[in-house]
A and B are shown apart, each in its own frame.
Chain A
Amino acid sequence: MSRSPQALLERRYARLGLLLIAPTIVVFCAVIVYPLLAAIYLSLFQLYTPTLEGSFVGISNYRDLLARGEFWISLRNTLVWTAGTLSLQIVLGIGMALMLHQAVWFRSLARSLILFPYFVSTVVAVLVWRWLFNDLYGILNHMLIGSGAVDMPVDYLGSMPNAMISMILVGAWKYFPFVVIAVLARLQTIPDTLYEAARIDGAGPVARFFDVTLPQLRDVLVVIILLRAIWDFKEFDLIFLLTGGGPVISTQTLPLLVYKEAFALNQMGMAAAYAVVMMAIMLVFMVVYIRRTREKDAS
């Protein structure tokens, strides 16, 4: 039975399609699927980190971690940190972007300088902040005592809730420029006619912001919140260097717990279990968030 030229051509196109998509699939498997499966696989073992030798324990790592108070405290800390720093980043970022969108003097210079905290290395940024917070030589305490606001230095990093508040503030300072860049780019594309129409309708600056600017920013804010929430949720270096998770475990987030299990306690299997749970939590949040946003858009 002879095949029609049409069918042959279609089959060739299908093969070509597979061939063209193959590199993407290979790269996707190598950088996403393999590490993910490897993490899940490792989480089923009790492994000594330096040798990666150990024994299969099934889901007992998951049972253990869910029974540990430390996990729930760290999860709560992670959520407080993420929600706190993300909210501040968004508020500061939108505020600063609106300011830089105006015709102010040295606007180009200001737009460049605003990126400085985002570009500076986290280690350097944390060292600078630790010095600012220092009880003996820090400028913040010096100014507070000098102004008579306090009699004794404030313990910014060693007591609660100061440590969490300081951490959230430093995180917001470090990462809000990302919001500024994205929001500023979107602000420049909002047609002036929308504002003119709003003005004609008698809308003041606040009403124009809520009725014109904010709806126009919604799409970009969805992306920003999604990305920054993921990044903040798994933030490690800033928190580790600033408070080390202390006092006690009051600022210990899940990534710090993963690090502690993997490298302080040399329990790679348990660390992998924490990492898998972290990923699952993030996934749940992201799915809920995206669905809600879509529902809002549809309505």
Chain B
Amino acid sequence: MNKVLFFAHLREAVGKDYIEIDAAGKTVAQLKEELQKQYDLPRFESVMTAINEEFCQETDVIREGDEIAFIPPVSGG
């Protein structure tokens, strides 16, 4: 299983701090696309992704047990 954490407005859109799903074998881009459809999320473009607290690329493959975090850039200041 994989824990997927959401921050800022993605958290509001999903309605939970995190979900647990089986994402092993998928790329980060595939997982983004799947979640976007499932939760009717705002665009994932520019959303930064970390696997096990390390910045990762769209093409990275998720392994069993990995923790994924989606951090959308916010613009206020």
Q: Do A and B come from one complex?
A: no
Which residues of A come within 8 Å of B, CB atoms? none
Residue positions of B touching A, CB distance < 8 A = none
